[in-house]
Structures are given as structure tokens and as C-alpha cells.
Amino acid sequence: MKQTVKQWLSASPWESVLSVNKALCQAQKVEPTTQAARHDKAQRLWEGAVARKTTLKEVLDLCRECHELAPFTFNNGNTFAAIGRALVEDWLKILPPVEGQIVRTTIGHYIAGLIGRKELLQVLQHFEESWQRETAHVDRMAPPVVAAVQN
């Protein structure tokens, strides 16, 4: 299968990460605070990736790595999971709603460290095949999925 390589984060500068975290914190009535050293490291990683072309797997790995750095005191996992899910939203609109929800949940769980890379890649590969079958007659962009499942 073909990997789609693109600038996944071109519309998501670090300021948008901060905005997502702030909105999540406000919804829970907690002050959006950061851990200074961890925040700076996550910000550098993120900003270094914004202009880079990567695969979906690589950008989801970045979201997971930033989550693991824990730059935010509150809603750290929710922040990066929300961004990861948003990256594939256009693709998921083509899938049946239940399948789209499975992909969203899988991406969120991967970023938050609840499942491993193998499980993520298996789910994405499964739905890439489904996406290709459903859109074989339509000339659209390639799905944002990884090549082969790797252990």
C-alpha cells in the first residue's frame, strides 16, 4: 500500500495546540497551565514538524511523544488526541459512521498510550482497504494511512 506523505501540521502551529488545551480546560473550569521545561521541549518538537512532510504514522508518533512529555498540567492527553483525530477527519467522512468512530477512538488511544503501534497500524490498514474499495470509482486523494503493519 502507498503511504501518503504530506505536511500534516501545516494548519496546526503550536498556538493551535495551546488553543485546544485552553478550550478543554475552560470546559472543565480548570486553569490551563504548563510544565515549563516539558512545554518548551514539546513546543520545539512540534514546531520542527510543522513544515516537514511526514506519513500519518509519523505525525501520530509525534502527537504521542508530545503527550508523553506532558507539557500540560490538565487535559494533556485529550489535547494531543483531539489534534490527532482532527488530522484525519476529512478521510473519515467517507467511511460509515461506526467505522469512522473506530478510527477516531484508535487514534486517540494510541496517542494517549492505551494501545501500541501494532494495533494502530492494523486498524488503519483495515480501514484503508475499506476506503479504497468504497472510493475505487471516484478519483480522490489517497487515504492518509501507513503502508504495512510492522511489529
Residue 119 pLDDT greater than 80, yes or no: yes
Number of domains forming the structure of the chain = 1
140 occurs within a structural domain: no
Give the DSSP letter string of the chain: -PPP-B-TTTT--HHHHHHHHHHHHHHTT----B-HHHHHHHHHHHHHHHTS-B-HHHHHHHHHHHHHH--BSSSHHHHHHHHHHHHTHHHHTTS-HHHHHHHHHHHHHHHTTSS-HHHHHHHHHHHHHHHHHHTTTS--PPPS--SS---
**Is residue 146 a part of any domain in this protein?**
no
Indicate whether 104 pLDDT > 60.
yes
- Asked if the structure places residue 31 within a domain, the reply is yes
Rounded average pLDDT over 74-103: 93
Domain extent, residue 118, equals 14-134
pLDDT tier at 75, thresholds 50, 70, 90: very high
* 66 belongs to a structural domain: yes
In a domain, 120, yes or no: yes
When pLDDT is averaged across residues 52-81 and rounded to a whole number, the result is 96
Considering only residues 114 and 138, tell me which one the structure prediction assigns the higher pLDDT: 114
Is the model's pLDDT at 102 over the cut of 50? yes
pTM, two decimals, is 0.85
If one compares 5 and 148, the residue with the highest pLDDT of the two is 5
Mean pLDDT for 4-23 is 94
Give the residue from 65, 99, 67, 94 showing the smallest Cα distance to 80. Answer: 67
pLDDT value, residue 134: 58
Task: Look at residue 5 and tell me if it is in a domain.
Answer: no
**pLDDT (0 to 100) of residue 16:** 97
Percent of the chain scoring above 90 in pLDDT: 72
Query: What confidence tens digit (pLDDT) does each residue in 23-49 have?
Result: 999 999 999 999 999 999 999 999 999
- Cell numbers found for residue 27: 470546559
Task: Answer whether residue 22 shows pLDDT above 50.
Answer: yes
